[in-house]
Amino acid sequence: MTAPHSHSMTPIGFIHSPFDQKFGIPRQPGLASIRARIELVPPYSSPESVRGLEQCSHIWLLFLFSATSDQGWSPTVRPPRLGGNQRLGVFATRSPFRPNPIGLSPVRLCSIEQSGDRVWLEVEGADLLDGTPILDIKPYLPYADSLPEAEFALASRIERLTLPVHFSQSAQQACQIHAGRLGQPLARQITEVLLCDPRPAYRKQDETREYGISLYGLNIRFRITGDRIEVNSITLQTDQD
């Protein structure tokens, strides 16, 4: 057996996403219809590098867990999906704390923009923190990458809350204002993110606690009870300074 080789990797680009904090990001891709932009950087930002990619409806993003890459790894982790009480081998999870902190996500390719030697990809459904380095892009091949017969007993279905989401009057007004400013279906996107239940597993029994997520630079305060999700306020982050 030969000794492991060490390889360095250079990002081909970076993602610009409305998720500027880890808390609140859906734990899997495709659970929220939020768009993000991938900026390719030289020498990878040439129109030739994406020739033919416009024929793909979906692409794979390989990326670096840059926000946690300096925190090391452990052979076992406590997946949030299992309540944080059960340990699994790191290779049986999608934990960011890995020997090589690499992640992959399938996303919908919405458009490709080119201007001179600059290239941007607009994608939908990415579960990536703003500024995440992109290591590679590959086309999603439906005949090879979609495996309907695949099984994983510990994660056999999408887990979303089924509670109604109610916006307070002030939150509803703020949502309409910022949706117009951003040109985004903000109420729908907030609803999709909150239905993914970003709360820590060990705090889900506390229905009095108010949480906050950051999206598009907005501080969205919410509370989850047994019968509803309440969006209490939506303010600009600068308003809290």
Would you identify the CATH topology of the domain 13-153?
Elongation Factor Tu (Ef-tu); domain 3 (2.40.30)
Beta bridge partners of 233: 221
- Using the predicted structure, report yes or no on whether residue 178 has a pLDDT greater than 80: yes
- Using the predicted structure, report yes or no on whether residue 221 has a pLDDT greater than 70: yes
Q: Please, are residues 59 and 134 in contact by the beta-carbon 8 Å criterion?
A: no
The CATH architecture annotation of domain 165-240 reads: 2-Layer Sandwich (3.30)
In which residue are the tokens 């670096």 written?
Answer: 64
Q: Which element (helix H / strand E) includes 37?
A: strand 35-40
Check if 13-153 and 165-240 are the same fold. Answer: no
Looking at per-residue pLDDT, the higher value among 2 and 116 belongs to 116
Q: How far apart are CA 161 and CA 159, in angstroms?
A: 7
Beta carbons within 8 Å of 22's beta carbon, 6+ residues apart: 67, 129
- pLDDT value for 241: 47
Q: How confident is the model at residue 3 (pLDDT cuts 50, 70, 90)?
A: low
- pLDDT value for 67: 78
Q: Where are the domains of the chain?
A: 13-153, 165-240
Q: How far apart are CA 192 and CA 26, in angstroms?
A: 9
Q: How confident is the model at residue 56 (pLDDT cuts 50, 70, 90)?
A: very high
- What's the pTM value of the predicted model, to 2 decimals? 0.86
Q: Please, are residues 234 and 240 in contact by the beta-carbon 8 Å criterion?
A: no
pLDDT tens readout for residues 77-116: 887 666 666 788 989 888 888 889 999 999 999 999 988 7
Residues 163-189, mean pLDDT to the nearest whole number: 95
Record the tokens describing residue 126, joined without a space: 């990415």
pLDDT tens readout for residues 131-165: 999 999 999 999 999 888 988 887 767 778 889 99
- Using the predicted structure, report yes or no on whether residue 239 has a pLDDT greater than 60: no
Beta carbons within 8 Å of 163's beta carbon, 6+ residues apart: 195, 224, 227, 228, 229
